[in-house]
Amino acid sequence: MVDPISVASGLMTVLSIIRKTIKLVEDLSSAPSEFTTTKQHLHSLSIVFESVKTDLINNNRSIINRPNNLRSAKRNELIRLVSTCDKSIQRIEKILKQYRTVGHSLWKAWRWSDKGRQEVASVEADLMFNTTVLNVYLSKEGLETMWKMEISIEAIKTLLEKIIAGSAGGYNTKTATPSGRRSPKKKAKHGSLPSAVLASLFISRLKAKVKEHRKLSFRPSKTSSVPKPLKRVRTIPVPSKRKSTLLSQYSERLKNDQARLGTFQYECYIVSGGQYAFGGPSIYPKARQIGRGQTQLAELVKVFEAAGAVDASSIDKGHRAAKDLVKSRNYGSKSRRKWEFAAGRIESISSSPHGTVRTRKVMIVIKRPKA
């Protein structure tokens, strides 16, 4: 039986870690440009933490506060995930303390040395990895924070590029003037069409968001002698001024990011599997896809690859889980665009209560050329 006092103490620890993260974000705001990437990843984690605080811990109707059989298990899982994030935060604090101790010039020389680059890459890989895993926990309760925004903004950017390209191709004329020059472009008859399409897209997405976050209305049901089946009630997001501010800042950063999506299409999965303690092959029968934007997945691959040289948690394409996932994604496909391994990282390794089976979870990113 779970001790309720220890669980309550664990939730207080979670709140203290969240407060520490907020302070660290403020401390890094005045740090030099070498901390820019780390600040961005920590800002993403702070958004997820804010959702944990407002939508789960301080929400009496959340899955960890409602009186049900899942409450203890969900609380323990949340405490474990946030404690894992705290290890990454402590590593960032250590690097920041080192910067303040040795001074900017010496620290900059260490930062761009082989050892410094490897250490920072490992910290950033940990940070992105733990942020993604914690958001998967939230997504199970319908509390996606950033990933839908990433995908929506990328879709809008892609649509805008297509509209601009179509407008340029549709209104350009090949008729030449007597002097040999091209005649000036004729003004489009429907010049406001791109704006109308964009406005329609924004309105439709806004309506979808409003419908998604609308509070449930409880109406008295008709009396019936047949018992209704039990349904799992998802956690309803709670309005938060700080969360809205953080999401607004994140949205601005995504809109101002001029990086193109590249030539690859990415997918990210968490693959669960196990192995008998006395030996035998590892089996990975279950894979859960993670929703993230293509730009963020490309960044995830870049960070994982940089940390792979020094980090024991990294895996390569020869890992059993990676081979099984790539094989299953390409199975039965007649397309020439085949999926291949991009990057991966082991999430956790644990043993069964009797110690006969070792279970593990692996995060894997795969890629294939775009059409």
What pLDDT does residue 178 have? 44
How many Cβ atoms are within 10 Å of 207's Cβ, its own excluded? 10
- 215 pLDDT band, cuts 50/70/90, is very low
Query: Among 292, 289, 261, which Cα is nearest to 369's?
Result: 261
- 319: which DSSP letter? S
- Between CA 77 and CA 161 the distance in angstroms is 42
Residue 355 and residue 329 in contact, taking contact as beta carbons nearer than 8 Å: no
How many Cβ atoms are within 10 Å of 65's Cβ, its own excluded? 17
Query: Among 106, 93, 98, 57, which Cα is nearest to 78's?
Result: 57
What pLDDT does residue 235 have? 67
Summarize the confidence of residues 294-316 as an average pLDDT. Answer: 84
Those residues with Cβ within 8 angstroms of residue 62's Cβ, 6 or more apart along the chain or in another chain: 55, 56, 141, 235
Summarize the confidence of residues 149-162 as an average pLDDT. Answer: 74
Q: Which residue has the higher pLDDT, 262 or 97?
A: 97
What pLDDT does residue 268 have? 93
- 180 pLDDT band, cuts 50/70/90, is very low
| Prediction pTM value | 0.69
Residue 112 has pLDDT above 70, yes or no: yes
What pLDDT does residue 211 have? 62
Those residues with Cβ within 8 angstroms of residue 299's Cβ, 6 or more apart along the chain or in another chain: 128
What pLDDT does residue 341 have? 96
Q: Report the range of poorest mean pLDDT among 49-63, 153-167, 257-271, 348-362.
A: 348-362
- Residue matched to tokens 């811990």: 57
What pLDDT does residue 249 have? 77
Residue 301 and residue 365 in contact, taking contact as beta carbons nearer than 8 Å: yes
* Helical (H) or strand (E) element with 117: helix 114-139
Would you kindly state where each structural domain of the chain is located, as residue ranges? 1-144, 261-371
Residue 77 has pLDDT above 60, yes or no: yes
What pLDDT does residue 356 have? 59
- 177: which DSSP letter? P
Residue 204 has pLDDT above 80, yes or no: no
- 176 pLDDT band, cuts 50/70/90, is very low
Summarize the confidence of residues 70-95 as an average pLDDT. Answer: 87
- 311 pLDDT band, cuts 50/70/90, is confident
Those residues with Cβ within 8 angstroms of residue 58's Cβ, 6 or more apart along the chain or in another chain: 238
Percent of the chain with pLDDT over 70: 69
Q: Which residue has the higher pLDDT, 92 or 173?
A: 92
User: How remote is the C-alpha of 170 from its chain's centroid?
Assistant: 38
Summarize the confidence of residues 156-173 as an average pLDDT. Answer: 63
Residue 49 and residue 123 in contact, taking contact as beta carbons nearer than 8 Å: no
What pLDDT does residue 63 have? 81
